Amino acid sequence: MTLHSAAASLAEFDRFPDSPGAPVTGAGADALGERSVRLTPKYAGRARDVRVRWALYGAADAPLVIVQGGISADRHVATHADRTGWWDAQVGAGRAIDTVRCRVLSIDWLERADLGDALAVGSEDQADALAALLDALGVRQALAFVGASYGAMVGLAFAARHPARLGRLVAIAGAHRAHPLSIAVRNLQREIVRLGARFGDAAAGLDLARRLAMTTYRGEREFAERCAAAPAFDGARFRFGEEAWLQAAGARFVARCGAERFLALSESIDLHALAPEAVRVPTTLVGIASDRVVPLADLCELQRRCGAAASLHVIDSRYGHDAFLKEPAQIEALLREALPTLGA
Amino acid sequence: MTLHSAAASLAEFDRFPDSPGAPVTGAGADALGERSVRLTPKYAGRARDVRVRWALYGAADAPLVIVQGGISADRHVATHADRTGWWDAQVGAGRAIDTVRCRVLSIDWLERADLGDALAVGSEDQADALAALLDALGVRQALAFVGASYGAMVGLAFAARHPARLGRLVAIAGAHRAHPLSIAVRNLQREIVRLGARFGDAAAGLDLARRLAMTTYRGEREFAERCAAAPAFDGARFRFGEEAWLQAAGARFVARCGAERFLALSESIDLHALAPEAVRVPTTLVGIASDRVVPLADLCELQRRCGAAASLHVIDSRYGHDAFLKEPAQIEALLREALPTLGA
């Protein structure tokens, strides 16, 4: 048994019946569950028990890899039973993160309500929750933490706070800080949600906030291509080429994300700030040239100042920040290079 | 008397008492007034009389120069009596647009209410109103049209529709079309205003829309510099470094611009679209490398396809789109080069 696979069996992990329901166990060794962990949230004075909703995929007795996505992602990284995973392109049998060769852990992001009286949710709180789950699993060191967007920020916080627990960090489209211009735009997204909420319609605000976020996630070229249609008068006002697309994106988001969750996680991105020197784990950084949310310059600074060996790889894409989802072939190649023992 | 100064005297221009009040005449030959002009708005079926609020500055018997700014600018381009001009840096005695050597005409933008039942306001309508004022002034050809932002778009529309009426166009930070990504973000600004209006508080929406606009007008570097302060909890939520600045900008805008005006002029930018080949007037284009509202690539295309000789000059600035206001020395040098007969 290697260091990475020094894991308690799933049965051991789940023997503490602290979950309201028993873990939902699906095909193979995949499992979903909840458990309480002890945390002192960054924006609260004292320790408390926090419930964490986790998922495990793949080989039980194999090196553990933590995988986390953006603020609108959840623990369903891979398809499990009849539920599709949001990152099936990278996580699964035969994929770059091969569930035959490793065990994948992911959590649903902690929200403000999960942390009791904490004033806000820190990326550090998410990292500490994952470290506590490693304890519960009996895993001394995860082979890797693969995080994208907010998940990359949490991975950096994990590497800074629990360096001995991690073999390698792969941080995609996330840096040691949020860029001030991105903070300003996200803060306005939250103000728009609050404007709606003030009039009893937070969903209407959330819809517009998500559309605004989309204008920052995607590349200029994509907009130019999507908006070729001339504006058309609909009886009340002119409709522009990109509107139907953005409206659909806003509606989909409102259907799956509550306003409070969005407010807390959006704010958590903006509060994220750590010294690159504190990241004392070998790190692979992945940036996207067209990313207007996480400028390449910030990843260059992170690479230069990183407290351990760090390499920076740059993806060329028309999709901006969302290239971590929309460029699966490029991401796969980088993951296979960064984590050669992990892929099929 | 040259072609350019073949102008009726101010007294002639004002002899038609179609203004509710007589023109307000200040120091020297400066004057403000209103008059009706006959227009067929682009988004209406038939001609109508439209009231235009105009201003004239400087030498009465001198070449005429039209000067127009962005959608939040007005006809007060230069200081007149006790009212400060928004572009005193460029327009005035001894400035690049020297009011001792030329006569400056500017109008308040037409709004939707000015156009009766028109569905929207076209940049072409503004151009036609200016051409009608040239008729009223007896000016066959203006020496130059200097437009910035929306004013540049209107200048391009003027050059396309009335090429014989113009000696040279100087278009600063405005192109033959609005960029699709900029359209998307402005369209969201209008949706935010409508969200507020739906609940009886259009001003609250306008405030947020203006703050959002500011995040697009200014450069990344400026945000990085303005937001050095760490976020601070105010008892309800965290406040970020740039908030006070953006809040003040939103409040100032709400105090001086109504929601209907903003909706019409913002939409007018997005509806603006003309073939560069139609611009058959010698043109000086000025772009700003850090401008995220009007990407340099669009100005390059305009220069390449322009129907007359066109040169493109690029300003380096931390201020993004707003460099046309915030980099007076660079703008002055370019104006003096483009319009050598005009400056002191």
Per-residue pLDDT of B6-59, as tens digits, reads: 344 444 444 433 443 334 344 456 899 999 999 999 999 899 999 999 999 998
Cβ–Cβ gap B220/A179 under 8 Å: yes
| Chain B interface disruption, residue of A190, A195, A296, most B CBs within 10 A | A195
Contact A13, A30 (CB under 8 A): no
Task: Provide ipTM, 2 decimals.
Answer: 0.89
In the predicted structure, residue A22 carries a pLDDT above the cut 60:
no
Contact A104, A58 (CB under 8 A): yes
Query: Mean pLDDT over residues A286-292, rounded?
Result: 94
Task: Name A273's bridge partners.
Answer: A177
Buried b (16+ CB within 10 A) or exposed e, B233-254: eeeeebebbbbebbeebbeebb
**In this complex, which of B180, B198, B227 lies closest to A227 when CB atoms are compared?**
B180
- Kindly list the residues from chain A whose CB atom is less than 8 angstroms away from the CB atom of residue B230: 273
Report how far residue B236's alpha carbon sits from residue B238's, in angstroms, rounded to the nearest whole number.
7
Cβ–Cβ gap B120/A208 under 8 Å: no
- A139 CA to chain B: closest CA distance, Å? 35
Burial class for B110, CB neighbours closer than 10 Å (0-12, 13-18, 19+): buried
- Which residue of the set B106, B162, B321, B322 is catalytic? B321
Q: What is the per-residue DSSP string for B196-252?
A: HHHTT-HHHHHHHHHHHHHHHHS-HHHHHHHT-SPPEE-SSSEE-TTHHHHHHHHHH
Taking only residues 98 to 137 of chain B, the set having a beta carbon closer than 8 angstroms to any beta carbon of chain A reads 119-120
Local structure of residue B110 (DSSP, 8 states): P
Taking only residues 3 to 32 of chain A, the set having a beta carbon closer than 8 angstroms to any beta carbon of chain B reads none
- Which residue of the set B123, B149, B182, B268 is catalytic? B149
pLDDT at res. A223: 81
pLDDT at res. B81: 83
Taking only residues 167 to 196 of chain A, the set having a beta carbon closer than 8 angstroms to any beta carbon of chain B reads 179-181, 183-185, 187-188, 191-192, 195-196
Mean pLDDT for chain A overall:
90
Report how far residue A317's alpha carbon sits from residue A215's, in angstroms, rounded to the nearest whole number.
16
Instruction: List active site positions of A.
Output: 149, 291, 321
pLDDT at res. A29: 66
**Which residues contact residue A153 at a Cβ distance below 8 angstroms, ignoring those fewer than 6 apart?**
A123, A147, A171, A174, A175, A178, A269, A272
**What's the pLDDT tens digit per position in A79-132?**
988 899 999 999 999 999 999 999 999 999 999 999 999 999 999 999 999 999
Low-confidence ranges of chain B (pLDDT < 50): 1-27
Local structure of residue A231 (DSSP, 8 states): P
Structure-model confidence comparison of residues A47 and B25, the more confident one: A47
Q: Which residue has 């990504």 as its token pair?
A: B181
Report how far residue B318's alpha carbon sits from residue B301's, in angstroms, rounded to the nearest whole number.
23
Report how far residue A174's alpha carbon sits from residue B230's, in angstroms, rounded to the nearest whole number.
19
Listed residue (B271, B66, B75) closest to B171, CA to CA: B66
Give how far Cα A118 sits from Cα of A115, A260, B307, Å. Answer: 6, 14, 62
- The residue in chain A having the minimum alpha-carbon distance to the alpha carbon of residue B196 is A195
Establish if B208 touches chain A: CB-CB under 8 angstroms.
Answer: yes
- The residue in chain B having the minimum alpha-carbon distance to the alpha carbon of residue A178 is B224
Cβ–Cβ gap A179/B224 under 8 Å: yes
Domains of chain A in sequence order = 10-177+274-338 (3.40.50.1820), 180-269 (1.10.1740.110)
**Which residues contact residue B72 at a Cβ distance below 8 angstroms, ignoring those fewer than 6 apart?**
B253, B256, B257
pLDDT at res. A2: 37
- In this structure, chain A runs to a length of 344
Give how far Cα A111 sits from Cα of A124, A267, B344, Å. Answer: 13, 11, 64
Cβ–Cβ gap B188/A179 under 8 Å: no
Report how far residue A77's alpha carbon sits from residue B237's, in angstroms, rounded to the nearest whole number.
31
Catalytic residue status for B321: yes
